[in-house]
Structure 1
Amino acid sequence: MPLYKTRRGLFIHICVLILVFFSVSSFSMETSSGSSDNSMSSAAPSGPSVKNLMLSVANLSLTEGRTGTKNRQGFSPRNCLLAANGGSLQGIQETRINGLPQYQAGFAKSTLVPPPLFPGTIWGSNSMGDGWDFQGSRLQSGAKSFVPNLNYSPSGSVVDEGASIVGSNTGLSDYSVVKNQEKPNNVRNFICLLQGDRFVNYCLDKDGSRTLHGLLSLRDPEITCQICKKVLDLSSRGIPIFFELMLNQHGWQVFSELIDSLNHQQLKLITYVITKDLSIFIALTFHTHGSNLIKKVIRILRRSHLISFVTNNLCAAFLLIMTNRIGSYVVSECLNHLRAEDNKALYEAAITWCLDLAIDHEGSIALIRVINTIQGLQRYRLLNILSRNAVFLSQDPEGNYVIQKVISLNNPLFTQNVCHLLIGHYETISLQKGGSHIVEKCLDTEWKGWIIENFLSNTNTLLHVAKDAFGNYVIQKALKVTKKSGSPLYHKLLSRLKPHLSILQSGYGRNVFNLITGGQSVTKV
């Protein structure tokens, strides 16, 4: 009786009876050549045959959904979708996108719905509540959710709870690495409620910044877009919000995560906003958090033409930035990570301002970092300017370090320039702390004869230098290098100094006295 519940069942039953009838008839005809007794005996096993045949027909209905079988309308079951009433929706076509089957029902405004890639239980959650908690999940492990309860209304929202969003115990500031996408609309609505100074205060709060950091880590394009728009607005004080974030110990972390979440167009907009006001850009480079974020932008844009926004600003305020300890490292970030063509303008600025940088404490340190990276013709031009001004820089408390760097490069051209230009000035610079180091370095070069001859030209000058707090190390160095090389200049120095050993026995001259008479010289500090 179950076959008669539908017309389809009735049709199948009739077909079965017809097949049984023809099968029995055929079987009888094949055995008709025998006796009637044989006919009666052959009819006996027909019962099991009919039963097997009916089972075979029933099995055909069970395999109707297999690939390659045809239904009675001629449609492959793979290209039809069985309806709940046992019928079929014809004309449904299969398409494949990225190798996954998607079914199009033929309706004008229908959308392709891909089959789920994973079962709903793959996330380890037995049930999903209204909030963001993974209840029953091993991922939970006692951690709090991003937003435990986002079912709120604007009139009584969690933002207003406790009269202030900063420091509130609403759970909105709790941070979690669990990335649940079940309530994206509620999250976006929550971000929309953070308007103006509320958004600023939330970013500058420790817990609030961690929450926004976590939401940005979801990499939801709409969430990122919403936060990006808010960051680019002005606060009630007329100050750009991004500026307040980049200078704050908590806000800069939100901005850092935002940079990682941006697409190319958004990153272009952020870069333009940061660099469009030179005074704001300079203030950012002077601040620890701000400079770290700009250096991060530099690393992200190192292969993009957008890097010119940053390098142009650095060139425009090159001297000011390079003479600041924190700001100078922003330029160094460019020199270490950008291509040679991108750094060309920065190197030109360094060549232009090299003398001003050399006589500044932070500037001289930054200039030495430039010397370490600059190459080609620009390197030649920079070292040529510095070596030609060796007399001036050698007597400067900061510039002498730059000249020492030039000599330590062991470039014969520039070292010779320095040694030659200092002739006539060796006595003066030997009496200075920094200058004495330069003279000692020059005594290690092949042009040391120029220096010693300069001292030998005047005995009083030689004794004056030998008795000086810094100069005595220069004379000691001259005696050591000439003795080691077997130079006749060694004996000339001895002949000038020995008649005055009594003068050298006291004060700083005692170091030279001990060296000549076999005593141990004092190591220079």
Structure 2
Amino acid sequence: MHRTASNRRHAEPDVNRFANVMLESLANEIYSLCKDQHGCRYLQKKLEERNPTYLTMIFNETYPHVVELMIDPFGNYLCQKLLEHATDDQRTILVETAAPQLVKIALNQHGTRALQKMIEYVSTPEQIRLIVNALKTNVVELIQDLNGNHVIQKCLNRLSTDDAQFIFDAVSENCVAVGTHRHGCCVLQRCIDHASDAQKQQLVNEITTNAFTLVQDPFGNYVTQYVLDLCDAKYSDPLIRRFSGNVCTLSMQKFSSNVIEKCIRIAEPGTRKLLVDELLSSVFLEKLLRDSFANYVIQTALDYADTQTRQVLVDVIRPILPSIRNTPYGRRIQSKIIGPPVVSPASTAATASSPTSNGSGAQFQAYPRGNGNGNAGGHNMLVRRMQGLDIQDGAAVHAVNGSSSSAYAGPTGSQHSQQNSQHQTQQSQAQTGQHNRRQQTHQQGHSQYFSHPFVHQPVRNTFANGDFSGYNYM
């Protein structure tokens, strides 16, 4: 709802009522002004003037109420500005006054911002000690809270590793509770980022010990993957070996299957062989191949196993292929084992002979197709398209083949003669069997036939212009 002009006139004095007011005239009213939107802005501007007199006046009237103001929708902004401009002694008094209620402040949506600012501006060992002592008994509660977890992360960012040791100790002792929590898994990863070598080893040891539980959790699996992503064998190898004996079970679960795939990709050669051998020895290999998660693990094993182990895996899978061939997973696995379908040598040679064909890429050689430029592959595809449209006119096929007897004949040459011969053979084969019923149509001539209304317009245009370069055969 829009304000009327009258409403705006009444609102303007509220916004500007402090414009010409001296701070001295507001003595004993500063605390109440902190909780007023416009009064709070006025006080912040006075602090930005860096006038020691103003700073002292505002500090003296606000520090006894710092806990209340830190969780106030407007007062928290004044507290943040006051922490920024206060002297070390004043800041110590603010921290000391708020310390008994720091957990309450951290859990509040407004207080969390003010407390993060307090941690950011701590400047003496005494201030750090006060904050650490106030928070250290509630670390897990804060980590699992929407607002409190940001306070713990600010401690990791701002405090030294020694001062933040209380966080590493609490996380290590509660690794599963923290790692399987929506916010906790993120904090645990930040702990790894900010840890010293000894603290990192402390955390990784606990993660490794609880890896089987973490890896199956929707949040905990990211913690295990984060350790793997450190790309350090002294951390990753012991973790991967914890999954030994449970590789098949973990491969068939939504979250842990991603971790097993990563393990196969980054493991040391000896450890990777242990994982793949466990898949090989499973009596449920066909079940793994059919499973919506485990099939990706099998595919990764085919991609990353050493040559000898891969061959053994292929030999074990090959007899199972007929039973899974028609599944989406089976087709992908089959393509990894035996490659894509192979066409006849004649078709491959015809496609490779074209100057515009994709004969250079091995992945394309098994699928000769036209490129829309009138080459041999394109003609073959157009013939097939014509057959699909019930077009079997002899003169029209000659036009596609480039025969000299056609009104649309192209340049002659030994290469074209060979292609014409091949296409005429295809035409002859296409006109047998079920196509014999169309012989009367063939005798009518292509011009009359392509003017028939049931022939698609693009085909009529193509043969009217004699240009196949823009035709989309696929």
Using the size of structure 1 for normalisation, the TM-score is: 0.58
Q: Distance in 1 between matches of 2:242 and 2:152?
A: 32
Structure 1 residues 453, 344: closer, same or farther in 2, change over 3 A?
same
Per the alignment, residue 319 of structure 2 pairs with 499
1:409 equivalent among 223, 226, 230: 230
Query: Is 1:476 equivalent to 2:306 in the alignment?
Result: no
Q: Distance in 2 between matches of 1:461 and 1:435?
A: 18
Shift of 1:402: 1.0
Contact 1:212 / 1:254 at 8 angstroms: preserved in 2?
Answer: yes
Contact 1:314 / 1:346 at 8 angstroms: preserved in 2?
Answer: no
Query: Is 1:425 equivalent to 2:246 in the alignment?
Result: yes
Per the alignment, residue 283 of structure 1 pairs with 104
Per the alignment, residue 199 of structure 2 pairs with 378
Contact 1:395 / 1:434 at 8 angstroms: preserved in 2?
Answer: yes
Contact 2:161 / 2:194 at 8 angstroms: preserved in 1?
Answer: no
Shift of 1:210: 1.3
2:93 equivalent among 225, 247, 269: 269
Contact 2:47 / 2:81 at 8 angstroms: preserved in 1?
Answer: yes
Q: Distance in 2 between matches of 1:515 and 1:370?
A: 40
Matches within 5 A, 1:214-293: 214-233=45-64, 241-277=65-101, 281-293=102-114
Q: Distance in 1 between matches of 2:132 and 2:19?
A: 36
Per the alignment, residue 24 of structure 2 pairs with 188
Shift of 1:168: 8.5
Contact 2:66 / 2:94 at 8 angstroms: preserved in 1?
Answer: no
* C-alpha RMSD of matched pairs (Å): 2.6
Query: Is 1:339 equivalent to 2:160 in the alignment?
Result: yes
Deviation per CA, 1:397-441: give whole Å up to 9, x if none: 221111111122233233222222211111111111221111111
Per the alignment, residue 13 of structure 2 pairs with 169
Q: Distance in 2 between matches of 1:412 and 1:221?
A: 57
Return 463-472 or 325-334, whichever deviates more: 325-334
Q: Distance in 2 between matches of 1:170 and 1:418?
A: 63
Q: Distance in 2 between matches of 1:494 and 1:378?
A: 44
Deviation per CA, 1:342-387: give whole Å up to 9, x if none: 2222222222222221111110111011011111322212211211
Q: What is the number of equivalent residue pairs in this alignment?
A: 329
Q: Distance in 2 between matches of 1:170 and 1:322?
A: 41
User: Which residues of structure 1 form unaligned runs of 5+?
Assistant: 1-165, 177-182, 234-240
Q: Distance in 2 between matches of 1:326 and 1:383?
A: 26
User: Which residues of structure 2 form unaligned runs of 5+?
Assistant: 1-9, 342-362, 364-474
Q: Distance in 1 between matches of 2:289 and 2:339?
A: 17
Which of 1 and 2 has higher RCO (CA within 8 Å, sep 6+)? 2
Matches within 5 A, 1:36-185: 169=13, 173-174=17-18
Shift of 1:472: 1.0
Using the size of structure 2 for normalisation, the TM-score is: 0.64
Shift of 1:508: 4.5
Letter in structure 1 aligned against 2:13:
N
Contact 1:175 / 1:214 at 8 angstroms: preserved in 2?
Answer: no
Q: Distance in 1 between matches of 2:244 and 2:198?
A: 28
Deviation per CA, 1:8-30: give whole Å up to 9, x if none: xxxxxxxxxxxxxxxxxxxxxxx
Deviation per CA, 1:75-103: give whole Å up to 9, x if none: xxxxxxxxxxxxxxxxxxxxxxxxxxxxx
Shift of 1:167: 6.7
**Which structure carries more helix by proportion?**
2
Q: Distance in 2 between matches of 1:519 and 1:466?
A: 19
Q: Distance in 1 between matches of 2:236 and 2:46?
A: 58
Per the alignment, residue 376 of structure 2 pairs with none
Q: Distance in 1 between matches of 2:328 and 2:66?
A: 59
Per the alignment, residue 442 of structure 2 pairs with none
Letter in structure 2 aligned against 1:415:
S
Contact 2:15 / 2:38 at 8 angstroms: preserved in 1?
Answer: no
Per the alignment, residue 298 of structure 1 pairs with 119
Deviation per CA, 1:174-228: give whole Å up to 9, x if none: 459xxxxxx9xx5323222x17xxx43x323322111111222333434333322
Q: Percent of aligned pairs with the same residue?
A: 24
Structure 1 residues 461, 175: closer, same or farther in 2, change over 3 A?
farther
Q: Distance in 1 between matches of 2:60 and 2:154?
A: 28
Contact 2:251 / 2:260 at 8 angstroms: preserved in 1?
Answer: yes
Contact 2:227 / 2:236 at 8 angstroms: preserved in 1?
Answer: yes
Q: Distance in 1 between matches of 2:143 and 2:311?
A: 48
Rg larger for? 1
Letter in structure 2 aligned against 1:505:
R
Letter in structure 2 aligned against 1:260:
E
